[in-house]
Chains A and B, each alone.
Chain A
Amino acid sequence: MGKVIKVGMADLNVAKSGDCLTTLGLGSCIGITLYDPISKVAGLAHIMLPSSKSIKNNSNPAKFADTAMDILIDKMIKAGARKTRLVSKIAGGAQMFSFSTKNDLMKIGQRNAIATKEILKEKGIRLIGDDTGGNFGRTIEINSDTGILFIKTIGKGTKEI
């Protein structure tokens, strides 16, 4: 059994040789996982916002979908992954509270999911698993041996994608 590496909010990390990456209690944020099935290198970023471009306080690149993706890909290549082989699974992007139509920020989950998919397309990385949306939180774990993404919720059961 490998070890389980915890990734916090606005943070990212890479795992290999049987280790797992996990992030707990994703709400509107997105857990972006990347995986190279040949070198068995996995990466996970827990992003909070779609883009670093419109925000003043953008000193932490792991907070934004656009900047986190670049750093995660670099880190994975350094760990032995090849960019052309990377596939992605994403989870999160929920809307935790049920109203607030006028408040754009409340739809941040949806905006995060859209931005993440656009960036993946830009980078030429295939999205092979998507568990975004809804109004509930998720804990996710990716296994670097199999690339399987395990998703746990409260009241909505667990699943694997």
Chain B
Amino acid sequence: MKITLDEINNEQMDVLKEIGNIGAGNATTALATMLNKRIDMKVPKVDILEFNEVTELLGGAEKKICGINFDVDGDINGNIMFLLNMDSSKKLANMLMNKEDHVEELSEWDISALQEVGNILSGAYVRSLTTLTQLDMKISIPSLTVDMAGAILSVPIIQYGQVGDKVLLIETELNEGNNNIKGYFFLIPDVESFEILLKSLGVLE
């Protein structure tokens, strides 16, 4: 039997939420170490949402956002996506480059800085998952794009579309000084991997 996101029970959902918490926590620690700054993280929201709810959360299908995508392979295959609105992506880039400006457009430097931070955050996230599950997972180099939320989201949505009609979303909020950055993680295991993941976490027979 193949299990889908529509079919998971409360206990399995709690475990997925816990993974979200630990993963995002480790990602924040990694970022704080890299920047040598104090970074607070709000307890993230982990939720299973309908397609349209996710798009609305990001400001609608036409809203310009920044998406960083990673392939995951090993015992688990799938993708990780990290999404930021333009304001948050600019703040995060400025934080990394140690500068202050208020332009909304991202420069090439900003983009490579964001890819790097995406790498660190997703790497930390995957490491916590590996530790919890004892499964082997590797992530690819990041690929970043700035475009309409609907268009960027169509990539994970189509992938989830093979498993169910809902997506697993982890919302994280990072705070450094006056900078408030809101980001969204998607972990997208393929059909087989979703089952392997739940089994290794002991919530699926």
Contacts and interface: CB of A to CB of B under 8 A. Distances in A.
Most buried by A among B62, B71, B147, B153: B147
B158 to A, nearest CB: 5
Nearest to B77: A103
A79 interface: no
Most buried by A among B60, B146, B150: B150
Contact of A48 (B140, B145, B146, B158): B158
B150 A57 contact: no
B158 A99 contact: no
Interface in A20-52: 24-29, 48-49
Interface in A121-140: 135-139
A51 to B, nearest CB: 12
B67 to A, nearest CB: 7
B8 interface: no
B157 interface: yes
Interface string A87-121: 00000001011111011011010000000000000
Given A9-B51, A24-B62, A139 B148 contact: yes
Given A24-B62, A57-B164, A105-B159, A9 B148 contact: no
A146 B52 CA distance: 30
Given A24-B62, A25-B62, A97-B69, A57 B148 contact: no
Given A96-B147, A99-B143, A102-B71, A27 B51 contact: no
Contacts of B143: 97-100
A1 interface: no
A102 B154 CA distance: 19
B61 to A, nearest CB: 3
Interface residues of A, number: 33
Given A63-B161, A100-B71, A48 B154 contact: yes
A124 B109 CA distance: 50
A28 B158 CA distance: 8
B148 A25 contact: yes
Contacts of B73: 102
Chain B residues touching A, range: 35 or more
A103 B71 contact: yes
B30 interface: no
Contacts of A97: 67, 69, 143, 145, 155
Interface string A137-157: 111000000000000001000
A24 B162 CA distance: 22
Contacts of B67: 96-97
22 contacts: A9-B52, A10-B51, A25-B149, A26-B150, A26-B151, A27-B147, A27-B152, A27-B153, A28-B155, A49-B161, A57-B163, A60-B165, A96-B151, A97-B145, A98-B143, A103-B79, A105-B162, A108-B158, A136-B147, A137-B147, A137-B154, A139-B62
Given A27-B153, A28-B154, A137-B150, 17 more contacts: A10-B161, A25-B61, A25-B154, A26-B150, A27-B147, A27-B151, A27-B155, A29-B158, A57-B162, A57-B164, A96-B152, A99-B140, A99-B143, A105-B158, A105-B159, A105-B162, A106-B155
